[in-house]
């Protein structure tokens, strides 16, 4: 059992990672030691002397480096405790210089037999030794800080990606909710219309059901698409208006004006519907003798200018007219989510008319691809 646990420990990912880091550090300090032995002994060719000298100097370099990298930096510098870091950092450098002086003194006594001329020239200069030592320390510290900065940037990037992904999921969930609210809102209004026609035993009932089936087909199979051809959206709106016109008959004066090439551009499905629903639900009254509705869509390259103007019953509540319905609130939110910085919506109520003007930047689409779906 113990052998199995020990074997699992040796073969664990953390153990291998730790062993790899340890080996990398050993190779680094071995390379530094070899370089210093060669560098200090280059002018005398007495590598035995410089080997012993470097072996005495290395603990100071290693101790200073690890004290700064693994204690002072994480505990004080990264915690933004700058005054303490500066004071401890300076104190560490002073202690390391003092250690260098002790190494030089010991080398003078034991290796050079108290003869200054027997020492390697480069090992007698305390300033040069300090520069060499601190170059090693600052190099390793720079690598440590650069590694920490890279990990921090990577963590920030991952955090931003996570936040962006969460925001996109939330945005998509909100869009699905707003799209889903089209179904009951539209069906409620249309079924009310059909109920009225049924009570009157109207001869237009079969035509109304046929138009409704086409609208429901689009509602079920197209409403969750990212976009549909603008021509399709306008045709569905025309069917909806025709369906409503069956209820109002000759009392509704309709003006329909389409300009441009709507088949070349795409739009979010059922985005324009709430403007017409709002006109029929909140603008028109059963008691009004004459009703007016203007629907205008003008396409100038990728810019769509859509306008709906409907008459308002003067006897209706001003507050109710200005507020509109839940459909308008939903379409405002959909515009913010699906067309940020690409739309302008103006709602202009008056005692006699209610006007909605939408300017929308559209994207070109392949109408033939949609036609084959």
| Residue 316 banded pLDDT, cuts 50, 70, 90 | low
Which of 124, 158, 174 finishes a domain? 124
Residue ranges with strand state E in 207-290: 228-229, 252-259, 265-267
Q: List pLDDT tens digits, range 158-184.
A: 878 777 776 666 666 555 655 555 555
Please report, in angstroms and rounded to a whole number, the separation of the first and last CA atoms in the chain. Answer: 64
- Quick one: pLDDT band at residue 211, thresholds 50, 70, 90? confident
Decide if 80 is inside a domain.
yes
Q: State the pLDDT at residue 200.
A: 75
Query: Do the domain assignments include residue 248?
Result: yes
pTM for the full model? 0.53
CA count, 13 A, side-chain hemisphere, 219: 20
What mean pLDDT is reported for the chain?
78
Q: What is the CATH number of the domain that holds 198?
A: 3.30.565.10
Q: Does any domain span residue 263? A: yes
Q: How confident is the model at residue 372 (pLDDT cuts 50, 70, 90)?
A: very low
Q: Which of 109, 124, 139 is a domain's end point? A: 124
d(CA 325, CA 344): 19
Q: Does residue 108 fall inside a structural domain?
A: yes
Let me know if residue 175 belongs to a domain. Answer: no
Q: Identify the pLDDT of residue 315.
A: 66
82 vs 16, more confident: 82
Domain, as residue range, for 21: 2-124
**What's the rounded mean pLDDT across residues 107-127?**
66
Structure tokens at 351: 């005692």
Mean pLDDT within 229-236: 88
User: Using 50, 70 and 90 to split pLDDT, how confident is the model at 323?
Assistant: low
Would the pLDDT of 228 be above 90? no
Q: How confident is the model at residue 366 (pLDDT cuts 50, 70, 90)?
A: confident
Least confident of 56-60, 206-210, 232-236: 206-210
**194 pLDDT more than 50:** yes
**What pLDDT shows up at residue 134?**
81
91 has pLDDT over 60: yes
Question: How many structural domains compose the chain?
Answer: 2
Q: Are residues 71 and 216 in the same domain?
A: no
pLDDT bucket at 118, cuts 50 / 70 / 90: low
Considering the domain boundaries, does residue 140 fall inside one? Answer: no
Query: Mean per-residue pLDDT for 256-276?
Result: 87
What's the whole-number mean pLDDT along residues 26-33? Answer: 87
3-state DSSP assignment of residue 339: coil
Task: Please give the C-alpha separations between residue 182 and each of 194, 273, 303, 338, 371, in angstroms, as whole numbers.
Answer: 18, 9, 25, 16, 24
């Amino acid at each position: 059992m113990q052998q199995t646990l020990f074997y699992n420990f040796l073969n664990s990912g953390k153990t291998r990672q730790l062993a790899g880091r340890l080996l990398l550090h050993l190779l680094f300090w071995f390379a530094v030691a070899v370089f210093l032995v060669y560098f200090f002994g280059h002018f005398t060719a007495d590598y035995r002397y410089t080997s012993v000298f470097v072996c005495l100097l290395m603990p100071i370099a290693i101790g200073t480096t690890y004290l700064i990298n693994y204690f002072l930096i994480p505990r004080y510098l990264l915690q933004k405790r700058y005054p303490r870091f500066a004071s401890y950092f300076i104190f560490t450098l002073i202690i390391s210089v003092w250690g260098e002086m002790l190494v030089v003194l010991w080398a003078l006594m034991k290796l050079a037999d108290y003869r200054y001329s027997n020492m390697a020239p480069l090992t007698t200069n305390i300033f040069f030794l300090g520069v060499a030592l601190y170059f090693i320390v600052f190099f390793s510290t720079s690598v440590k800080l650069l590694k920490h900065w890279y990990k921090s940037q990577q963590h920030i990037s991952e955090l931003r990606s996570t936040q962006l992904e969460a925001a996109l999921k939330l945005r998509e969930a909100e869009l699905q909710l707003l799209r889903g609210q089209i179904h009951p809102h539209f069906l409620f209004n249309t079924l009310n219309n059909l109920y009225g026609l049924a009570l009157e035993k109207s001869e237009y009932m079969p035509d109304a059901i046929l138009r409704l089936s086409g609208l429901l087909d689009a509602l079920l199979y197209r409403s969750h698409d990212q976009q549909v051809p603008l021509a399709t959206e306008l045709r569905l709106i025309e069917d909806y208006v025709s369906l409503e016109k069956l209820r109002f008959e000759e009392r509704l004066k309709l003006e329909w004006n389409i300009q441009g090439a709507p088949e070349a551009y795409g739009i979010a499905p059922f985005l324009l519907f709430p403007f017409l629903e709002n006109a029929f639900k909140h603008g028109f009254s059963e008691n009004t003798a004459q009703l007016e509705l203007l629907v205008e869509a003008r396409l100038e390259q990728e810019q769509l200018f859509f306008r709906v103007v409907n008459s308002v019953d003067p006897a209706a509540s001003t507050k109710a007219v200005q507020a509109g319905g839940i459909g308008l609130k939903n379409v405002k939110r959909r515009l913010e989510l699906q067309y940020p910085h690409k739309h302008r919506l103006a709602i202009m109520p008056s005692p006699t008319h209610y006007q909605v003007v939408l300017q929308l930047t559209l994207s070109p689409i392949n109408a033939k691809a949609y036609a084959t779906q």
